[in-house]
Structure 1
Amino acid sequence: MNIVVVGGGIVGTMHAFFAVQRGFRVTHIEREDEARGASVRNFGLVWISGRAPGGDLELALRARHLWEKVAADVPDVGFRPNGSLTVARTSAEVAVLEEVARAPEADRRGVRLLDRREAQRVNPALHGEFSAALHCVQDGAVEPRKAVRAIQTWLRRRETYTWLPGREVVAVSDHAATDDRGETHRGDRVVLTTGAWHRGMLARHTAGVRRVRLQMLETEPYGETLTTSFADGDSLRYYPAFDVPALKGLGAQALIARQHHMQLLVVQRLDGSLTIGDTHAYDEPFDFDLDEQPYAHLLATAEQILGRRLPPVRRRWAGVYSQLRPGASGLYHRTTVAPGVVLVTGPGGRGMTCSPAIAEETLAP
């Protein structure tokens, strides 16, 4: 079977990886020289703790299992099952975590509620302000700036894989995609994984998705090892797993956090640096500036929880990803564009987490 994959981000690269593993011939097309979008501008989290019960959680758990398989073949993706702590600093936040820890799916999700001392035994680097934490042993992390490139390096060693960067697909037809050099690539299946690109020939197929802009940063190496990733109480407002009755008792969010739809996530990279974020903007056109106020809030909150000063910021960036519109059904956007041609996009902030399982569903017989 011949597969044509359009899009060199993590979702497209996972489609190519699993197709090659199944013995298919793959032509992989990317308009840039390499992935430049949300696939390399994210936390690198394989995030189980925040997923909604049901299909959302099951997709993430399947992806978590598949990430281990990917890492066995491609160690340079940097996968590690480091788990996470979602910390609570108020009694209202503790009440939310208590409900989540008692939920029927808690064991499957791998979560339990810890008091402060127990949480510090799990992650001794948390010296600051918090009273309890939800520990999720299923959460993991990969290296977002390396993972896509590492998988593609593995793929390019296979005779059944052809990598065609610097080509933009401008038209599709039955079982075929035509690039801007006038070459037509035919396959038994054509999979469009175009990320946050919703315009041009795809405009009429992307009404069910929207784009989301985020801001993040990375510090210089931190002088202490974080044995887990961690999140703050604002993440309770963002992830569907925390949509429990006690959530109504959280009260008002800080103004700056509310204005920028913020939560704190902190992940330590393999070189010791910290990736910290993030914000969410939903109304286009997006601002082209990086706003310093939310960065200041995120850094201050991280320091309050860690209980020590952060090292200097090494880099700041913005990214844009594709997400289902509120009220849309499904976990991501999948639609047939032409016979034998399917568009797969819109996983939202789950792209890095769920990309292996999304690819598996696309390639299912």
Structure 2
Amino acid sequence: MTGKRTWDVLIVGAGAVGAACAYYATAAGLTVAVVERGHVAGGTTGAGEGNLLVSDKRPGPELDLALLSLRLWQDLAAELPDVLEYEPKGGLVVAPTPDGLRDLHRFAEGQQACGVQWEPVPPERLREAEPHLAEGLAGGVLYPQDAQVQPALAAAWLLRCARRSGADLFLGTEVTGMLRGPDGSVRGVRTDREGDLAAGAVVNAAGTWGGRIAELAGVALPVLPRRGFVLVTEPLPPLVRHKVYAADYVADVSSGAADLQSSAVVESTAAGPVLVGASRERVGFDRSPAPAVLRRLAAQAIALFPMLAGVQVIRSYRGFRPYLPDHLPAIGPDPRAPGLYHACGHEGAGIGLAPATGLTLARLLTGRPTEVDASAFRPERFPADGLPADGLPIDGAPADGLPADGSTPDRPTSLAPEVR
């Protein structure tokens, strides 16, 4: 039990977003506690690739948030680049047809007005950028601002910095209810291991479980899990220089379809293995192996990089992106439950958007101006029933075998023995 101690801010969730909220809140002079029912980076963060992307974002509030985050990641990486495994590798988006290339250029031209840097790559220069790319592609667009970090290390480092500034961390501690003040406002949380933890404000950074935390406060937030798989190859020489993906990946990111979507995303890592994604499907928290999805990802990757046909896949893993129906996260105070703030629903962009989310929350908590317009991220923007248009439930029942903390267990190694 923690006795009568009270914090300025209590953050639910120790993934990348929760860690960033703790980092920037302590930097703003607030006293902070972080409560996590599993372990650090045990959910979506631990199953992510660590993408810091502007290349897949349309002009609008999410792109503004991403550009701010890129600057903040650069500042953070300047302090400890080796710890974060920060790689400013850039992104290369390729198109198979001339029509697709024209669409890519129009998309990039719209982004440029917002501050995104890009360079056209004609077909004759594609193999200069990526020597092992397939022949016959119509061209591409190079985004030099795209980068990558190691997500679990990044979350752990942000939390370590917050703890050095006085933050408290309660792992293996589940939030079971909300504490209320005399006026009904949220004034802390009830937990299964630490009793009641009082705070001036509670931040919901619970990722795919954000809908459940909101429900404990009596409000609806339609966060849905969107499953994705990644293949991991044997360690290889640095054969892929950038994050490379097919143009239809952008359409997959912005789609709200529940059925399976996949498009080739291929990138090397500092340790040597190549990561192959990306798939998206809404199947609740179903963790069942999906060999057909893995074969589809492998085939799409080989179509981009034929040299992968002879490479061994040593494992695959899956995670659940916290999806909101309009593809924008919920960031800021919830007027339906005064004292409750949200920082969740980032779908597959949580790692990239974490610093800007944390900074924005810290500014809102301290009454200071934010660097981006946060109005588009208002948590109360959804219909009163909290449901998206298809009527699916907010969270659904977890599939049998899902860890109680929502984390990803040991990753399988035999779902796809070879990429062929």
Shared fold per TM-score greater than 0.5: yes
From 171, 182, 187, give the equivalent of 2:199. 187
2:66 matched residue in structure 1: 60
Q: What is the alpha-carbon distance in structure 2 between the residues aligned to residue 325 and residue 101 of structure 1?
A: 24
Q: What is the alpha-carbon distance in structure 1 between the residues aligned to residue 106 and residue 221 of structure 2?
A: 36
SS at match of 1:177: strand
SS at match of 1:224: coil
Q: CA 1:58 to 1:198, structure 2 compared with 1: closer, same or farther past 3 Å? A: closer
Once the two structures are superposed, residues 20-47 of structure 1 have per-residue CA deviations (whole angstroms, 9 ceiling, x without a partner) of 2223222111111332111111121101
Once the two structures are superposed, residues 160-217 of structure 1 have per-residue CA deviations (whole angstroms, 9 ceiling, x without a partner) of 1222111111112232122112522223322121111156553353443322111222
Alignment-mate amino acid for residue 291 of structure 1: A
SS at match of 1:2: strand
How far apart are 1:347 and its partner, in Å?
1.4
Q: What is the alpha-carbon distance in structure 1 between the residues aligned to residue 15 and residue 9 of structure 2?
A: 16
Q: What is the alpha-carbon distance in structure 2 between the residues aligned to residue 139 and residue 362 of structure 1?
A: 24
1:189-228, aligned counterparts within 5 Å?
Answer: 189-198=201-210, 200=212, 202-203=214-215, 204-228=218-242
SS at match of 1:308: helix
Q: CA 1:201 to 1:191, structure 2 compared with 1: closer, same or farther past 3 Å? A: closer
Identity %: 23
Do the aligned partners of 1:77 and 1:151 also contact (CA within 8 Å) in 2?
Answer: no
Do the aligned partners of 1:332 and 1:348 also contact (CA within 8 Å) in 2?
Answer: no
Alignment-mate amino acid for residue 272 of structure 2: G
Q: What is the alpha-carbon distance in structure 1 between the residues aligned to residue 143 and residue 107 of structure 2?
A: 11
Q: What is the alpha-carbon distance in structure 1 between the residues aligned to residue 325 and residue 146 of structure 2?
A: 26
2:360 matched residue in structure 1: 361
Do the aligned partners of 1:290 and 1:317 also contact (CA within 8 Å) in 2?
Answer: no
* 2:28 pairs with 1:28: no
Q: What is the alpha-carbon distance in structure 2 between the residues aligned to residue 270 and residue 143 of structure 1?
A: 9
TM-score, normalising length from structure 1? Answer: 0.86
Q: CA 1:59 to 1:197, structure 2 compared with 1: closer, same or farther past 3 Å? A: same
Once the two structures are superposed, residues 259-278 of structure 1 have per-residue CA deviations (whole angstroms, 9 ceiling, x without a partner) of 52112212221101112112
From 188, 193, 202, give the equivalent of 1:176. 188
1:1-365, aligned counterparts within 5 Å?
Answer: 2-75=8-81, 76-103=83-110, 105=112, 108-156=115-163, 158-173=164-179, 174-198=186-210, 200=212, 202-203=214-215, 204-240=218-254, 260-284=260-284, 286-309=285-308, 311-326=311-326, 331-332=329-330, 334=332, 336=334, 338-364=337-363, 365=367
SS at match of 1:287: coil
Q: CA 1:237 to 1:335, structure 2 compared with 1: closer, same or farther past 3 Å? A: same
Q: CA 1:154 to 1:124, structure 2 compared with 1: closer, same or farther past 3 Å? A: farther
Q: What is the alpha-carbon distance in structure 2 between the residues aligned to residue 281 and residue 196 of structure 1?
A: 14
* Segment drifting more, 259-268 vs 55-64: 259-268
Alignment-mate amino acid for residue 237 of structure 1: A
Structure 1 unmatched runs, 5+: 243-256
Once the two structures are superposed, residues 64-106 of structure 1 have per-residue CA deviations (whole angstroms, 9 ceiling, x without a partner) of 1111122223431112211100111123322211322443636
Q: What is the alpha-carbon distance in structure 1 between the residues aligned to residue 352 and residue 321 of structure 2?
A: 14
Do the aligned partners of 2:204 and 2:214 also contact (CA within 8 Å) in 1?
Answer: no
How many corresponding residue pairs? 346
Do the aligned partners of 2:12 and 2:204 also contact (CA within 8 Å) in 1?
Answer: yes
Alignment-mate amino acid for residue 360 of structure 1: L
SS at match of 1:309: helix
* Segment drifting more, 186-195 vs 102-111: 102-111
Q: CA 1:213 to 1:175, structure 2 compared with 1: closer, same or farther past 3 Å? A: same
Structure scoring higher RCO (CA < 8 A, sep ≥ 6) equals 1
Structure 2 unmatched runs, 5+: 1-6, 180-185, 368-420
Q: What is the alpha-carbon distance in structure 2 between the residues aligned to residue 281 and residue 195 of structure 1?
A: 17
Do the aligned partners of 2:19 and 2:156 also contact (CA within 8 Å) in 1?
Answer: no
Alignment-mate amino acid for residue 200 of structure 2: D
Once the two structures are superposed, residues 120-162 of structure 1 have per-residue CA deviations (whole angstroms, 9 ceiling, x without a partner) of 3233343545231111111111112422223333444x15122
Q: What is the alpha-carbon distance in structure 2 between the residues aligned to residue 175 and residue 68 of structure 1?
A: 35
Q: What is the alpha-carbon distance in structure 2 between the residues aligned to residue 106 and residue 198 of structure 1?
A: 33
Do the aligned partners of 1:269 and 1:275 also contact (CA within 8 Å) in 2?
Answer: yes
